Every structure is written in C-alpha cells, then in structure tokens.
Structure 1
Amino acid sequence: MSATQASTDRSTAAGKVLQILSTFDREHQSQTLSEIAQRTGLALSTAHRVVQELAGWGALERADDGSWHVGLRLWEIASGCPRTQILRDVALPFMQDLYEATHENIQLAVREGTELVFVERIAGHRSVELLTMVGSRFPIGATGMGRVLLAHAPLDIQEAVLDAPLRAWTAHTLTDPKALRAQLDRIRREQLIVSDRQLSESTVAVAAPVRIGRTGPVSAALGIVIAARSASRARGLREPLLRAASGISDELGRRTRTTA
C-alpha cells in the first residue's frame, strides 16, 4: 500500500472513496472487487457499496469480465487540472514538431514532491516500448527527465532524495549519492542530460528543462527516449530538444505575462 493510501482516513466517506481510487495505478489498472477490498483493507460489503456509488457517478466502470477500472468521468475531471492544462496546451505543438523531426518517443513530465508525473507523450508505432505512460509516477531520481527536475528542485527536495536509498532499476542505474550530486551539477550547467539505460536496459533518454520564460523557474522536463541500440543518435538529438524546450519556455512566459 502506498504512503498516500496509508495516510488516508478510512473512517470518513471521503476517505473510503480516496482509498479505493488510489488502488488504481499502472500496475493495477483493472481489479476485482475482492482485490480492491484487500488492497484498501475495507470490508467487502463496504468496498462494494462505495464502488457502486463511484460507478453510478462515472468514476469507475465495470468490464465484461466483472473487473473494475477508472471511468471516463474521472479522466475528464483530471484533464482539466490547471497546473498541467496550460503546460500541455503550449507544449504539444512543439512536441509534435519534435516527433516529426525524430520519430522517437517525446515525453513531458512535472515534479510532485519527490516523484515525477508524466503528463503528455507522443510515440509512433516504431518507437521503442517504454515503462512510462501518461499519468504514471516514478521516483524523481530514477529517470533522466526526473533528474532534470531534481537538479532544479528546492534544496530540501534534493536532500530528501539524496539522503534516501536510491533504487537500482538496471545494472547501469546511478545510485551513489556523490556521483548523483555531480550529475545534478552538470545538468544545471549544461541544461541537458543524456540518461543511459538508467530506468530500462533497452532505452536511452535525452532530457532538458522547460521554464516559465527564458530565465524563469523550471516548470517541467521535456525528453526524447530512444532504443539503447541507437544510443549513438543521442548527441544529434540535443539541439532539436533544446530548441523545443526553449520554444515551450518562451511561450509559457508569454502566456504568464498576458494573464498577469
């Protein structure tokens, strides 16, 4: 059970709703009622009642096999999140141009605490398969895009990540705090990272920060993910990536000034 689930007060009606919704994630996109009850610790009868109420509202939907998954109504509400809506609207044309230039996976992510959340992605049918997807979360130190965000995060966030054990996702994952500090320094200097098989043995990522304005605070990270067997292409992807990140940053700055 996640920290979010563990901290939810199950004694309230809202707490039970949040407990159930929080059981759905990338590894548990579809669940039976028994699985939901087991993961939340709720009585089966209570889980059944809350699930039925959520289904009636459209937050959950039932599949033909009787399992439950997140409903369209919940997605509609989440898609209006103001923190990401403007970012996605601004970034998508630049991401589309970047995809047309590279025909590789193009991803956009933001930081939430010590995690990053992927908020947009463009991929072709020949792009390398990824572990990540829109809406998925990963520890901020696990990916190239996450390390871009970590490099520009508040000091307390950086220290929280560097002081905690770093998971080795692959044999290449950087887990030494001293080496990671040095890498974060390079990211701040170069405004870019080439992440070699840090999250998956089959992928290499090139990532850069997206700011609010050319010199404003970092709002997101933009990345290109390619197959590890094509790692030699990474150097040639730096310039188009930086141009796209700069274009998004400029437009975000313009939008901010317009609405201020």
Structure 2
Amino acid sequence: MLDEANDRYRAPALDKGLDILELLASTDESLTQAEIAKALNRSPNEIYRMLDRLVRRSYVARIMGDRYELTLRLFSLAHQHPPVRRLVSQALPIMRSFCKTAEQACHLAVYDRGRVVVVAQMDAPSYWSYSIRVGARVSLYNTGSGHVLLAFATPQERAMMEAEREDQAEDKLRPDGLDRRLVQIRRDGYEVMPSVQSEAVYNLSAPILGPNDTAIAALTCPFLPRIDRPNVPGREEVLAILLATTRELSTALGRGEGSA
C-alpha cells in the first residue's frame, strides 16, 4: 500500500469512490449513506455526491429508498479483461466435459490481491451438486485452490502472494506445516484435502500451468460422494479425470512446449 504522506499524485475524489466500492464489496448487505460515511470515517455530505455519481454510472444501485449496494458492473468489467476472458472462454467447454464424465461439479479459480477468486463454475449434470458461486473470494490457506496456486508459484511470487493478503488477521489461520504441504503438492501435481467448510466434501485441485510450470489458475472439484449410485466415478477416478482435464487446459492456454 502506498504511503499516503509520500504520495504526490493523490486524487482524493477517486480515493473516496474506490473506498466506497471496496466497502460495498466487502459486505453482503446493503448500506445506508450514514453507514457508509461512518465506516469510512467521513461525513454524510462528503459521501453523497460520490454515491450519486456511482449510481448514475451504474456501479452502485440505490434500493429500498435509502440503501446502496454494488451492481454487477464491476464484475462485468473484470470479465472483459482479456486474460480472464480468454481463460474462461477456453476453460468452459473443457470443464463441461469434466463434469459430464466425472459427474461432479468444478470451478476455476485465479489469484487476485491476496485472495483466490472463482472466475468460472460448472454444475454436475445430476440434480445433486456441491458448488461455489462465480465471484466468490476465498482463502489461500484453507482451500485446495489456494494451496495449488501457492505450491505452483515461484518463491518470489509466493512471498508476494502471502504479503498481499488483504485480511492480515488471517495470519493465525496459516496451517502448521504448510510449507511442507506445498512441497508435497508440487511433487504430486495436485491437492486432495477434506473441505474446511463442509463435511463429507473433499477438495480435489490441480494447476493449470503456463510457461515455466507456474500456475495461471487452479481447477477444483468439490468431490461429493454419491451413496445412491454406486457406479459413478469414485474419488481416485475423479482425480485422474481432473488431472487429464488440467493437462488439456494447460495445453489449450499455451503452456510452453518444453514443459514437462
């Protein structure tokens, strides 16, 4: 983060608008103008004009008379960014094939400013599925996707990723032995771990590799065992399908020919 005292090119109005967007993005509930002003330690009058502009530009919506929430405009802009658009465009047909073969859901995640962000998701073909919504931001430390992205980063990238985490209070959640675990994941080429969020679910995660064998994304299957259909693929079989899928995606997205 820039030291504000030494930042010669500050744009206070822009900072104010970005503060509002980041605040609304961090909460699941709409906020009043007074609540926004209090959270940002500003006066309601300071916030009013900026909120009005954000509403007029469709970044923020006014609901229930006096409450504000984010629209999907920022989400849409993010997906117009060429690398993300190309990644999702190339991945979706291959992800669909995985779900059909494995009879499980899957999601595609990338690293963004200290968090893992889900950029694409595909449901299982049956009525029963466990999935995570597109746009969800999850931890580097307690998800299969996060472990894979850390394991397949260079040491310099990994140090930057951990330093950049937005919620520094999360330090206490760094698992003991994580470094050893990341070495093992890099060696195996995948992560298999019980979900920290849901019982009976296992995260099966593997990297989509770019040049130099660094991960540009992680593909994760939140594997949910089916006891009503004994002939569906089991966990080991689904893992093998997942690894074949990530190899195909790595090739489709231009992994260097010299990579192993």
TM-score exceeds 0.5: yes
* Shift in CA distance, 205/63, structure 1 to aligned 2, threshold 3 Å: same
Asked if the contact 1:113–1:157 (Cα under 8 Å) also holds between the matched residues in 2, the reply is: no
- TM-score after normalising by structure 1: 0.79
Q: Which runs of 5+ in 2 are unaligned?
A: 164-169, 228-232
Shift of 1:113: 4.4
Identity of aligned residues (%): 26
* Shift in CA distance, 54/206, structure 1 to aligned 2, threshold 3 Å: same
Deviations 1:177-211 (A, max 9, x none): xx222211111111111111234445321000001
Distance 1:50 1:10 in 2: 17
* Shift in CA distance, 102/222, structure 1 to aligned 2, threshold 3 Å: same
* Shift in CA distance, 68/95, structure 1 to aligned 2, threshold 3 Å: same
Distance 2:225 2:113 in 1: 29
Structure 2 letter corresponding to 1:244? T
Q: Which runs of 5+ in 1 are unaligned?
A: 169-174
The SS at the match of 2:24 is coil
Write the mapping of 1:1-260 to structure 2, written as runs, cut at 5 A. Answer: 12-25=12-25, 27-64=27-64, 66-124=66-124, 126-128=128-130, 132-159=132-159, 161=162, 165-167=171-173, 175-176=175-176, 179-201=177-199, 203-212=201-210, 216-227=213-224, 233-253=234-254
Shift of 1:166: 4.2
Shift of 1:11: 6.6
Structure 2 letter corresponding to 1:151? A
The SS at the match of 2:254 is helix
Distance 1:223 1:103 in 2: 14
Distance 1:150 1:117 in 2: 14
Distance 2:75 2:28 in 1: 16
* Shift in CA distance, 166/233, structure 1 to aligned 2, threshold 3 Å: farther
Larger Rg: 2
Asked if the contact 1:37–1:43 (Cα under 8 Å) also holds between the matched residues in 2, the reply is: yes
**How large is the RMSD of aligned CA atoms in angstroms?**
3.2
Distance 1:29 1:88 in 2: 28
Distance 2:237 2:19 in 1: 46
Distance 2:214 2:236 in 1: 26
Shift of 1:221: 0.4
Asked if the contact 1:25–1:136 (Cα under 8 Å) also holds between the matched residues in 2, the reply is: no
Distance 1:222 1:26 in 2: 25
Shift of 1:10: 8.8
The SS at the match of 2:45 is helix
**What is the total number of aligned residue pairs between the two structures?**
240
